[in-house]
Amino acid sequence: MGHYRSEEGFRTFSKAKGVIRKGIIDTASMVAPPWNNRMFKGFIWFMKFRFRPVKVD
């Protein structure tokens, strides 16, 4: 155990795991089911506005 006394030894024998930090606003719930919320309807409106047909002369 003499070689594993520092921070490197700690990292060798520990399991690193990911950490998720959530913000104040949960944006994932705004575009997730149920699909009747305002954010999703606004997103659909924006997509219709963005991909509308354009007349070319």
pLDDT tens for each residue of 14-31? 888 888 777 787 777 766
Local structure of 48: helix, strand or coil: helix
Specify the pTM.
0.35
Task: Give the model's pLDDT for residue 23.
Answer: 77
Report pLDDT for 40.
77
What is the Cα gyration radius of the chain? 25
Q: Tokens 């606004």, residue? A: 42
Residue 41, pLDDT score:
82
Higher pLDDT, 32 or 40: 40
What residues does each domain of the chain span?
28-52
Does position 45 have pLDDT exceeding 80, yes or no?
A: yes
| Tokens 């002369």, residue located | 57
